[in-house]
Structure 1
Amino acid sequence: MIHRTLAAALALLAATPLAAQDAPAEAPAAMPTGEALKAAVEANDARLFWGFFEGCDPELVADLVHPDFRMLHDLVGMPSASGAEMVAGATRNCDARKPGGANEGYRNRRLFVPGSRRIQQLGDWGVLEEGHHTFHEWRRAANDGAGGWVQTGGGRYIHVWKWMPEEGSFRLLESLSLDHGPAPSYPPALD
């Protein structure tokens, strides 16, 4: 009986590639902390909004969105109930900006308001990020065709980033987008 068990074990070992025999199993990555955590969230935030706004390339940032992503928006309700839905909707919007599209030439930009970000670690599984941002659209001047960016509004956002230890990265799990409003008049009225 021992010989059969030993023979079976040797046969299994022989059938396993040498690389698999020698390679240690990779341990899941630990979530960063401190400045590394802050830097990772800030980089994800910048990359996410670039892909969905000015860069208009949602597929480029799809890896930042968790499959179970959900977004709540104060003006429109729940525009996205999954990561795939979020990316698909943004892709449709970006396709409409291309030549021949319904919104050909439309350009918009999201700018983070410096000093408004708050980051809070959530146990060893995620991060809460809160901040303010402004929204801008490119407008052409009527006479000479030149143009520039015009602030059209602003808002506040709260993101929950989930740590994905197998990937060694964060993915956006939930987004609460609120306090949207028109751009304040400038210069301000003097009383």
Structure 2
Amino acid sequence: MTLTAAILFAQAATALPAAAEAPMPTGEAMTSRIEANDARLFWGFFEGCDPDAVADLVHPDFRMVHDLVGLPLTSGQQMLDQSRERCAARAPGGENEGYRNRRLLVPGSRTIKPLGTWGALEEAHHTFSEWRGEELGWVQTGGGRYLHIWQWMPEEGRFQLLESLSLDHGPAPQYPPEGAG
């Protein structure tokens, strides 16, 4: 055995054991983690306008498929960069200074299902609103449905958003509904 091989063998024999991989949570534990991630994610990219606060939720290989525009995002970095630009435009002196929008989950519309021990599928409906000033307040501008694929990262013990399918976008429904009395 050469000296180099002996040194490498000795280093391997004394190396610290690898960190234990965390098993993917199941049942209510999985559901509550995905729900918390969803709330943080949409706050960071919409109303809170702080993408850096939620960057840890976005997988580097993230991609988004959208029914109105096709494939608008092909990486987690692209998603973060575009959001930073939009948030900067809302800041004082920006071209959209003062713009505010909000995303709200439609209560009762969410389902979360495991994808083996690899990840989870989240599906729900949500609505979008824009702030129109003190006189009008928040005005619902539309809504849609989404499917998120959350990959379990066992080395880190957390889920990251790998893919988003954003579908069924449309105008805000009339409220109160026609004929309501």
TM-score with structure 2 setting the length: 0.90
Size of the aligned set, in residue pairs, is 177
Unaligned 5+ residue runs, structure 1? Answer: none
Contact 2:56 2:160 (C-alpha < 8 Å) held by counterparts: yes
Contact 2:100 2:131 (C-alpha < 8 Å) held by counterparts: yes
Q: How does 1:19-34 map to 2 (within 5 A)?
A: 24-34=17-27
Match of 1:164 in 2: 153
Q: C-alpha displacement at 1:24, in angstroms? A: 4.9
Match of 1:138 in 2: 131
CA distance in 1: counterparts of 2:170 and 2:98, whole angstroms: 24
Partner-residue secondary structure (3-state), 1:140: coil
CA distance in 1: counterparts of 2:136 and 2:110, whole angstroms: 30
CA distance in 2: counterparts of 1:172 and 1:22, whole angstroms: 33
CA distance in 2: counterparts of 1:109 and 1:190, whole angstroms: 28
Unaligned 5+ residue runs, structure 2? Answer: none
Could you give the per-residue CA deviations for residues 67-118 of structure 1, whole angstroms, max 9, x where no partner exists? 1101011111111001000111111111100001010000000000111001
2:31 corresponds to which of 17, 35, 38: 38
CA distance in 2: counterparts of 1:54 and 1:120, whole angstroms: 27
Structure 1 outlier segments of 4+, above 4 Å:
21-24
Q: C-alpha displacement at 1:25, in angstroms? A: 3.5
1:63 lines up with 2:56 in the alignment: yes
CA distance in 1: counterparts of 2:174 and 2:77, whole angstroms: 37
CA distance in 2: counterparts of 1:85 and 1:33, whole angstroms: 31
Match of 1:81 in 2: 74
Match of 1:101 in 2: 94
Match of 1:126 in 2: 119
Q: C-alpha displacement at 1:119, in angstroms? A: 0.8
| Amino acid across the alignment from 2:33 | A
The percent identity for this pair of structures is 68
Match of 2:103 in 1: 110
TM-score with structure 1 setting the length: 0.85
1:182 lines up with 2:171 in the alignment: yes
| Amino acid across the alignment from 1:67 | P
Partner-residue secondary structure (3-state), 1:106: coil
Contact 2:22 2:156 (C-alpha < 8 Å) held by counterparts: yes
Q: What RMSD over aligned residues (CA atoms) do the two structures have, in Å?
A: 2.3
| Amino acid across the alignment from 2:100 | R
1:49 lines up with 2:38 in the alignment: no
1:155 lines up with 2:147 in the alignment: no
CA distance in 2: counterparts of 1:22 and 1:128, whole angstroms: 37
CA distance in 2: counterparts of 1:72 and 1:41, whole angstroms: 20
Which is higher, the Rg of structure 1 or of structure 2?
1
CA distance in 2: counterparts of 1:76 and 1:95, whole angstroms: 23
CA distance in 1: counterparts of 2:43 and 2:67, whole angstroms: 22
CA distance in 1: counterparts of 2:176 and 2:120, whole angstroms: 37
Q: C-alpha displacement at 1:128, in angstroms? A: 0.5
Partner-residue secondary structure (3-state), 2:132: strand
